[in-house]
Copies of this chain bind each other. A is one copy, B any other.
Amino acid sequence: MSFIPRIYLDPHEFEALASNKDYAIPASTAHYLGTVLRLKASEKVVFFNERDGEWECEISYIAKNKGTIQTTKQLRLSITPLGPTLVFAPLKRDATDLAIRMATELGVKTIQPVKTLRTNTVKIKEERFRSITIEAAEQSNRLTIPEIKPIVSLFDFCSSWPKDKTLWIAVERCAEYHIEPNSTEKCRGDDGILIGPEGGFDSSEIKNLLLYDFVRPLSLGNLILKAETAIVAGLSLFSQHVRA
């Protein structure tokens, strides 16, 4: 099986895809397909987004910075993304990039950065994060791109969280807070998962979080995980229980 490139087309910048129609593709996409991947006319490309689903297309014409394609068949219909909301305190640059990439692979619908007492980094490079999510979606066979929300303070976020959805918080050393961690077995696809910053939540934050009716503690084991490991571990448990 030869490799067929899989490319996200931003639905805000591209008209809806329909059967057997010709489309001019964006200059950057033409550059990538023609110059980087060295594709030629009549070769196949798959385009996708959350609005149009996934389409197999054939290159009609490709030049340095322009090209046209023709849709040949729809491979998947569009879907309404379900996946959880990942709520996390931004980490150092590499760790945040990694967390966003892996969270996209693991199916998160929404990425909500929050500022906690021990959050050092509050600069959110939305364009950079978005390009990481697009690349991860292209590689992982996702149809949708996670939405990246602007950073807000932890408790402003909690105030606006819908009361009928559970927010699971990963708590290290549950025993110190006299809490019994819940199992993710009761989690639903549109719940949220909150992972604290490097160094953990401040104990006042844990106590205040536990006052909310929609908050449930979640244990990720006895070992102390780095924040990015905790994000991947939490999302893995979550997605398995939603699948099951």
Q: Which residues of A contact B (CB under 8 A)?
A: 98, 101-102, 105-107, 139-142, 183-184, 219-226, 229, 232-234, 236-237, 239-240, 243-244
Contact = CB atoms under 8 A, between A and B. Distances in A.
A227 to B, nearest CB: 11
Given A98-B98, A107-B223, A229-B232, 19 more contacts: A101-B226, A105-B223, A105-B225, A106-B223, A106-B225, A106-B229, A106-B233, A107-B221, A140-B223, A140-B225, A141-B222, A141-B223, A141-B224, A183-B244, A184-B240, A220-B236, A221-B243, A232-B233, A237-B240
A219 B240 CA distance: 9
Contacts of A98: 98
A205 B18 CA distance: 39
How many copies of the chain does the oligomer comprise? 2
Contacts of A219: 243
A117 to B, nearest CB: 15
A140 to B, nearest CB: 4
A132 to B, nearest CB: 12
Contact of A102 (B220, B221, B232): B232
Contacts of A244: 183
14 contacts: A101-B226, A102-B226, A105-B224, A105-B226, A106-B229, A106-B233, A139-B224, A140-B223, A141-B223, A141-B224, A221-B239, A229-B232, A232-B232, A237-B240
